[in-house]
Amino acid sequence: MKGQTEAGSKTVVLCVPLRADDLDTVRLALYGVAVRVGFSYEAIEDLKVAVTEACNYAILQAGEREPLPRLCLTFMLRETELKIRIGTDATDVTFGEALRPVKLPQERVKDLGRLEDSPIGLYLLQALVDELRVEPGGENEDAPEAIVLIKRLAAG
C-alpha cells in the first residue's frame, strides 16, 4: 500500500492478487480510509458492500488462472467525498455492465431474485454510491478498464 498527497486530497493505492481471499484486506483498507474522511458507520458499511461487489464482479470474470491478475484500488480522499477506482491488470475484466440500468420486477418483493438479466450485485453498486462510472485503464487501447465509485459525505 502506498500513499501520496495532492493539493487538497490524499491518495492511497492498494494492490492485491485478484482472489476472494484478499477481500478482507481490501475491506480493512477501505474502513481505515473511510473513517479518515469522516463517514458514518452506515455509510462505511454501504461502501464495503459496494466495493466488495465490484471486486467480486472482477474475480468472477477472471476465473482461476495462473498467474493471478492483480486487483488495484485507488482511494482518493477529499474533504467531502471518497473516490474509489477499482481495476485489474487483466484486459478481459470489464465493468461496463455495471452502468446498465437495473429494472426491478413490478411484482412482490419475493421476486427480487429475478432481476431482468442483471446480477443483484450490480444493482447494489448503483444503489449504494452517489456516482458510478467506468473509465478506460490508460492511454493504450488494450489497457483494462476500471470502475469508479464516488461516495459523498452527507450534508449536516
Could you tell me the residue ranges of all domains in the chain?
2-152
The Cα–Cα gap between 87 and 85 comes to 7
Closest alpha carbon to 123 in 147, 89, 90, 97: 97
φ and ψ at 155, to 5 degrees? -70, 145
Give me the residue label for grid cell 467480486.
Answer: 56
Residue 71 CA neighbour count, 13 Å, CB half: 24
Per-residue confidence of the chain (156 residues) as pLDDT tens digits? Answer: 444 445 568 999 999 999 999 999 999 999 999 999 999 999 999 999 999 999 998 898 888 888 889 999 999 999 899 999 999 988 888 887 766 665 555 554 454 444 444 455 666 788 899 999 988 765 556 668 899 999 999 865
Task: Check: pTM over 0.75? Answer yes or no.
Answer: yes
The Cα–Cα gap between 93 and 39 comes to 30
CATH superfamily of 2-152: Histidine kinase-like ATPase, C-terminal domain (3.30.565.10)
